[in-house]
Chains A and B, each alone.
Chain A
Amino acid sequence: KQEVTQIPAALSVPEGENLVLNCSFTDSAIYNLQWFRQDPGKGLTSLLLIQSSQREQTSGRLNASLDKSSGRSTLYIAASQPGDSATYLCAVRRRRDDKIIFGKGTRLHILP
């Protein structure tokens, strides 16, 4: 059974700091891994998608890495801002049934 775990469940850091969010998954047979942002009471916004053949993707201050063999991904946020406060979810698309499995998310709070 594919499980996706995100650690920590919640994180508070002062504005301006760099930070790393972690995502681990048990089944490495995946097509891709996607990071989403979710603001309170809102839908999901896609941040980065990494194909299984890729090692990392970058968008602005965000960098996502993928180590499929160890079942891990990290989302690196540089120079954090209060506007980055949200819940960050990772999701893997598994090969055996083409389903997307989500983690429970990390609630991030950037302190002004």
Chain B
Amino acid sequence: EAEVAQSPRYKITEKSQAVAFWCDPISGHATLYWYRQILGQGPELLVQFQDESVVDDSQLPKDRFSAERLKGVDSTLKIQPAELGDSAMYLCASSLVNDRVYGYTFGSGTRLTVV
């Protein structure tokens, strides 16, 4: 069964350092999403890509967060500088273009701890 790959699984970083997460969506899925999930909460959308273009980044804290999907396949989410409040699970998901039938497929996530 096809999967969304994410790495690393866990990341511990010091406050003010830079950190990056990687996501490889299911082959053929043009739409890619990054979500942040704070402990005890539901996931919240940070950024949505359609191929290499950003469709929605209205909830992305752009002063410190950046996301790219240069070739329209895999994607990188970066935080610089990291803050204590950034500690959370970062989830990547992908779907077919404009697909409202099959829904999303999520990766295993990256658990970030900022100390």
Pick out which of these stretches binds chain A: B14-22, B39-47, B63-71, B79-87.
B39-47
Q: Is the CB of B42 within 8 A of A89?
A: yes
Which size bracket describes the interface of B in this complex? 20 to 34
Min CB gap A64→B, angstroms? 12
B13 lies within 8 A of chain A by Cβ? no
A89 to B89, CA, bound (A): 15
Number of A-B contacts (CB under 8 A): 51
Q: Name which residue of chain B comes closest to A90, CB basis.
A: B42
A93 lies within 8 A of chain B by Cβ? yes
Q: Is the CB of A34 within 8 A of B44?
A: no
Majority SS at the chain B contact face: loop
A32 to B100, CA, bound (A): 7
Q: Is the CB of B43 within 8 A of A102?
A: yes
By a CB distance below 8 angstroms, the chain A residues around B42 are 4, 89, 91, 102-105
Q: List 18 A-B contacts (CB under 8 A).
A: A4-B42, A32-B101, A41-B89, A41-B109, A41-B111, A43-B106, A43-B108, A43-B109, A44-B106, A45-B106, A46-B103, A46-B106, A49-B103, A51-B100, A51-B101, A91-B42, A99-B45, A102-B43
Q: 13 more A-B contacts (CB under 8 A) besides A49-B102, A104-B40, A104-B41?
A: A32-B100, A32-B103, A34-B103, A36-B106, A42-B109, A43-B6, A44-B43, A44-B106, A46-B103, A91-B42, A102-B42, A102-B44, A105-B42
